[in-house]
Amino acid sequence: MGRLLRTGERVGAYEILRLLASGGEGASYLARHAARGEVVLKQYALSASEPSCRAEAERIERRKALIGVRHPCVAEVLDIFVDGDLYYEVLEYVAGVSLEERLERGLLLTEDEAVSVARCCLEGLVWLHTEVRLVHRDIKPGNVMLLEGPSGELQCKLIDMGIVLFLDHTRLTASGVACTFLYAAPEAFLGPKAAIDGRADLHSLAVTLFESVAGTLPFRGTTVESLITEICGPHRPRLRDAAAGISPRFDAFVAKLMAPKPEDRPASARKALNLLDALPLRESRDEERPDGEDDDDDEVEHEDEDEDEKKEGRGPALHIVSGSLRGRRIRIPESGLALGRAMFGPDDRKASRFHARATLHGATLLLTDLDSMNGLIYRGKRRQKVRLATGESVTLGATTLVYHEKGI
């Protein structure tokens, strides 16, 4: 990656203001340009091997085609240059809060907000896939910036296209999975010869929407190996089992995008956007769909909403008995559930983002700590695992929960 740049240091025409993030792949800085103002400067180390150098040079030239190409739902690439053995990419600075930051504060999206985020992301992906012909490959809450629209509505913009893949060169590199694996599509784990296309972005968007509404990821594994096995497996939990009050149509939309096999997802971002646009508004869920809507093979299946509403008050659940969300129920599906800060409310700063895994064992609930900062507090002691009978309580972070096998 090279050494980290210091505040006040200059790289080309850009003055470093502060470090935004750093990792094994590179570093990001807030920088200032005399004409452009504040921008994001991303720094990557170039390979020293000759074959890799040739490939990187070709990739850099191809990426320069992105400079100045604009879409309201995608952060603009402003400049690309090389300085010695370091590669720099300058992106539009998007002021605001990322979806990840919002979730870290314990503020989940409502279904209507999730629909708005999904629409903005899909509009951006339609443009990326068809006009620019690239796959983003890193759709996740940290790369979705939340903005306020002209009428106060929630909008968003996709950022950080550092690992984009051009659609006419759709094989993974020998380095393996170049994406945040918790949000990656199964095909990203199939090795260097795996074909990747825009449907991988749809899967990542679905995982992002699931987490943003439910406060937990759809995958429950506690190790990297078990998580990858689950991501590549044939089963997916349903959003309605993890978040109360979700309409059957939106649940089915998320499930369609998160299908394990690419061929079972919408064929394109445009198809997915058409599906989303066919969803009725929240206040008119029970109204008939307008005449003339296209009911093709990608139509979201309708489910019996009344039956789901009857089930809403039954089944195993943890009841929050402290904090700002006191009285809220967290339903525990048969597949289990990862519990974390986003479920407990913005005032719980002691809970970890992924704090514990809840698994049903007969009439009891087994909680397993996920290497959280403050652990599981049961009967006054910190525990790695806790088995709760109905009526028993446990504290995660600053939130106390009571388990009820059959709800109340």
| CA distances in angstroms from 48 to 51, 89, 404, listed in the order given | 9, 19, 59
Provide the pLDDT for residue 125: 96
| CA distances in angstroms from 243 to 134, 169, 240, 304, listed in the order given | 33, 38, 5, 17
Provide the pLDDT for residue 164: 55
Domains of the chain, residue spans: 10-92, 97-287+294-307, 313-404
**Are the C-beta atoms of residues 337 and 211 closer than 8 Å to each other?**
no
- Please name the residues in contact with 275: beta carbons below 8 A apart, sequence gap of 6 or more: 253, 256, 266, 298, 299, 300
Distance CA 320, CA 114 (A): 24
Q: What CATH class is the domain 313-404?
A: mainly beta
Distance CA 217, CA 206 (A): 10
**Are the C-beta atoms of residues 51 and 78 closer than 8 Å to each other?**
no
Provide the pLDDT for residue 296: 43
3-state helix, strand, coil in the chain (%, to 5): 30, 25, 45
Could you give the strand order of the β-sheet that contains 329-331, starting from the edge strand earlier in sequence?
Answer: 329-331, 317-320, 399-404, 393-396, 376-378, 381-383
Strands of 237-373, DSSP E: 317-320, 329-331, 337-339, 356-361, 364-369
Tell which residue, 318, 343, 337, has the closest CA to residue 219: 337
Burial of 92 (0-12, 13-18, 19+ CB in 10 A): middle
**DSSP 8-state class, residue 197:** -
**Helices (DSSP H) in 132-261: which residue ranges?**
199-214, 224-231, 239-242, 248-257
State the CB neighbour count (10 A cutoff) for residue 353: 18
| Cα three-residue angle 269-126-274, rounded to 5 degrees | 50
Kindly list the averaged pLDDT for each block of 10 residues, start to end, along the chain of length 408: 85 94 80 95 74 68 80 92 88 91 88 94 94 88 89 86 51 44 86 78 97 90 78 91 90 96 96 89 46 44 43 74 82 80 76 86 92 90 94 94 83
Q: What CATH class is the domain 97-287+294-307?
A: mainly alpha
Distance CA 232, CA 247 (A): 27
- Topology classification of domain 10-92: Phosphorylase Kinase; domain 1 (3.30.200)
Q: Record the tokens describing residue 369, joined without a space.
A: 């700590």
pTM above 0.85, yes or no: no
